[in-house]
């Protein structure tokens, strides 16, 4: 994707004499766009199985970026982003029924694993390269809109047992990221400016051989791992994950022309 961004820049931009290098520092807040972060409740307490409630929340974010404009319209941006988030879990695992055609062989295994509800913080750090398209010809040189499209890599920092093995994101900590955004730049002086933007970002989750499913009924947790290791591991036959995870938000940055 990064190579495509470089190739798609018009060749005339390389010959332009009006080049700019800009440093930006900013912060913002993100919200979820898909169901992965929404509250979900799995209530099988009536069957003496379990009660499980989970929810994700995106929070504040911080970024540092370097922008290089070939001319007044076309540019590239290299950006480091740190996104904070949290995960809520409330699990009461009472036991598990083992059914058989022979009624005498049917039995109930008592587990009684009762957890206090908790919020666990996690974060996402990424490096992205974006194509910038500025609309300086449509407004004055101090205030103008722009559009960006980019891709990069991310690293997910989260507790394996309390978040990665519990939530639908799955265990993998690295992957690809895609982003789109736009906003307005306003220059307070010839060297100092503000950048207000709205963005949407998608991280791609990969887990070779695992099923992509959000609901497996009573088979929510791996009993063998719990009995052997005392750890809560989501789902019975392979970890369940979501293939993409999308969120959006708003950011305000302070920018400096070099």
- Count CB atoms within 10 A of the CB of residue 242: 20
pLDDT at 118 over 50: yes
Q: How confident is the model at residue 210 (pLDDT cuts 50, 70, 90)?
A: low
- In degrees and rounded to multiples of 5, residue 39 shows phi and psi of -65, 135
Over residues 117-132, the mean pLDDT reads 97
| Mean pLDDT of the chain, nearest integer | 85
Q: How confident is the model at residue 241 (pLDDT cuts 50, 70, 90)?
A: low
CB-based burial of residue 135 (10 Å sphere; 0-12 exposed, 13-18 middle, 19+ buried)? middle
Check: CB of residue 23 under 8 Å from CB of residue 80: no
CA distance 192 to 188: 6
Q: Is CATH 2.40.160.20 what the domain over 19-257 is classified as, yes or no?
A: yes
Greater confidence (185 vs 210) lies with 185
Taking only the tens place, the pLDDT of each residue in 143-171 is 999 999 999 999 999 998 888 878 777 77
H, E, C per residue of the chain: CHHHHHHHCCHHHHCCCCCEEEEEEEEEEEEECCHHHCCEEEECHHHCCEEEEEEEEEEEEEEEEEEEECCCCEEEEEEEEEEEEEEEEEEEEEEEEECCCCHHHCEEEEEEEECCCEEEEEEEEEEEEEEEEECCCCCCCCEEEEEEEEEEEEEEECCHHHHHCCCCCCCCCEEEEEEEEEEEEEECCCCEEEEEEEEEEEEECCCCCCCCCCCCCCCCECHHHHHHHCCCCECCCCCCCCCEEEEEEEEEEEEEEC
pLDDT at 246 over 60: yes
pLDDT at 95 over 90: yes
Taking only the tens place, the pLDDT of each residue in 102-115 is 888 899 999 999 99
Check: CB of residue 31 under 8 Å from CB of residue 12: no
CA distance 122 to 155: 11
In the chain, what are the domain boundaries? 19-257
């Amino acid at each position: 994707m990064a190579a495509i961004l470089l190739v798609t820049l018009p060749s005339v931009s390389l010959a332009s004499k009006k080049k700019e290098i800009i440093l930006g520092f900013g912060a913002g807040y993100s919200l979820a766009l898909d169901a992965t972060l929404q509250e979900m409740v799995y209530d099988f307490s009536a069957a003496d199985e379990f009660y499980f409630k989970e929810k994700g929340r995106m929070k504040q974010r911080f970024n540092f970026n370097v922008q290089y404009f070939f001319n007044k319209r076309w540019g590239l941006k290299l950006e480091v982003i740190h996104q904070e988030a949290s995960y809520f879990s409330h699990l009461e695992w009472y036991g598990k029924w083992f059914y058989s055609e022979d009624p005498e062989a049917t039995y109930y295994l008592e587990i009684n694993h009762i957890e206090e509800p908790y919020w666990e913080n996690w974060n996402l750090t990424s490096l992205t390269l974006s194509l910038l398209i500025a609309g300086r010809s449509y407004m004055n040189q101090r205030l103008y809109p722009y559009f960006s499209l980019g891709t990069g890599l991310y690293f997910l920092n989260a507790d394996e047992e309390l978040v990665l093995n519990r939530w639908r994101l799955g265990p993998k900590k690295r992957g690809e990221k895609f982003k789109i955004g736009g906003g307005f730049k306003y220059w307070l002086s010839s060297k100092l400016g503000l950048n207000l933007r709205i963005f949407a970002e998608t991280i791609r989750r990969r887990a070779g051989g695992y099923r992509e499913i959000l609901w497996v009924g009573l088979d929510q947790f791996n009993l063998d791992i719990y009995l052997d290791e005392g750890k809560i591991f989501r789902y019975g036959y392979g970890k369940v994950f979501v293939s993409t995870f999308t969120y959006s938000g708003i950011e305000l940055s302070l920018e400096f022309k070099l």
